């Protein structure tokens, strides 16, 4: 048992080291443009995309106002996607239970290609009714492959509708970790958030 524990610890340590050291261009993401991963970004911005008054994109990862696109809403929150600089993509939400509460997650485009974007936010981790959880996946990932419900329809065409899985945290408890093999040979890793409020 002692050696198994050491072996497991060493394996985990190696995994952490490798995960941190893998070049950002792994997974052929450089061959796939962001608009291929998120067709909604290729659609011209209109009035329905504008952020609500009072939400400062500068405080939410420096998201470019002109890049923002609305991607859906549900009883938990409203959701947008946008770009920060030239190399990052961001998922933004405004909590339905508190219109002054907004959150974002921004990651390099290569990270988005490999893992998608995932975000959970709200007033308190102990109160799902005041929180929202969301996952934004590249367009080539089938939501059925990760066991998620179909993406909700948006005002845009089906072709540009983003792969968004969202809801209250207590509604998404059944999501599990899944690896999806892509046609290019790379692997997409879907990891549900496990937020332990402290």
| Of residues 110 and 156, the one with the C-beta less far from another protein | 110
Least distance (Å) from another protein to the CB of residue 125? 5
Q: Determine if 45 is a binding residue for another protein (CB under 8 A).
A: no
Question: Binders of another protein among 106-145, rule CB under 8 A?
Answer: 106-108, 111, 115, 117-126, 131
Question: Binders of another protein among 58-97, rule CB under 8 A?
Answer: 59-61
Q: Determine if 191 is a binding residue for another protein (CB under 8 A).
A: yes
On the CB side of 124, CA atoms within 13 Å amount to: 3
Measured between alpha carbons, how far is 41 from 112 in angstroms, rounded to an integer? 14
> What are the DSSP E strand ranges found in 12-123?
69-73, 77-84, 88-95, 102-108, 117-122
Least distance (Å) from another protein to the CB of residue 139? 19
> In sequence order, what are the residues at sequence separation of 6 or more whose Cβ sits closer than 8 angstroms to the Cβ of residue 117?
89, 90, 91, 105, 107, 135, 136
| Of residues 106 and 156, the one with the C-beta less far from another protein | 106
Stretch that binds another protein, among 53-61, 75-83, 143-151, 155-163 (CB under 8 A): 53-61
**Cβ neighbourhood burial of 173 (10 Å; 0-12, 13-18, 19+):** exposed
Least distance (Å) from another protein to the CB of residue 3? 18
Q: Which of 38, 41, 55, 137 binds another protein (CB under 8 A)?
A: 55
> How many residues belong to the site for another protein (CB under 8 A)?
44
Rounded to 5 degrees, φ, ψ at 132 are: -140, 145
- Cα angle for residues 130, 193, 58 (degrees, 5° grid): 65
Which spans of this chain sit near another protein (rule: CB under 8 A)? Answer: 9, 12-13, 15-16, 18-20, 22, 55-56, 59-61, 98, 100-108, 111, 115, 117-126, 131, 191, 193-198
């Amino acid at each position: 048992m002692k050696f198994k524990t050491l072996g497991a610890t060493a394996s985990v340590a190696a995994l952490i080291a490798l995960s941190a050291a893998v070049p950002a261009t792994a997974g052929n993401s450089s061959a796939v443009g962001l608009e291929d991963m998120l067709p909604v970004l290729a659609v011209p911005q209109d009035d329905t995309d504008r952020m609500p008054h009072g939400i400062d994109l500068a405080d939410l990862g420096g998201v470019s106002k002109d890049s923002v696109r609305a991607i859906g809403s549900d009883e938990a929150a409203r959701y947008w996607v946008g770009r920060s600089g030239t190399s990052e993509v961001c998922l933004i939400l405004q909590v339905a239970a508190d219109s002054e509460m907004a959150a974002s997650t921004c990651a390099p485009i290569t990270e988005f290609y490999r893992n998608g974007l995932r975000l959970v936010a709200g007033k308190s981790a102990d109160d799902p009714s005041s929180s929202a959880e969301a996952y934004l996946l590249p367009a080539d990932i089938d939501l059925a492959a990760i066991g998620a419900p179909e993406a909700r329809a948006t005002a845009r065409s089906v072709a540009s509708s983003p792969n968004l899985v969202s809801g209250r945290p207590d509604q998404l408890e059944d999501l599990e970790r899944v690896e999806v093999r892509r046609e290019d040979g790379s692997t997409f890793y879907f990891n549900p958030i496990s937020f332990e409020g402290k």
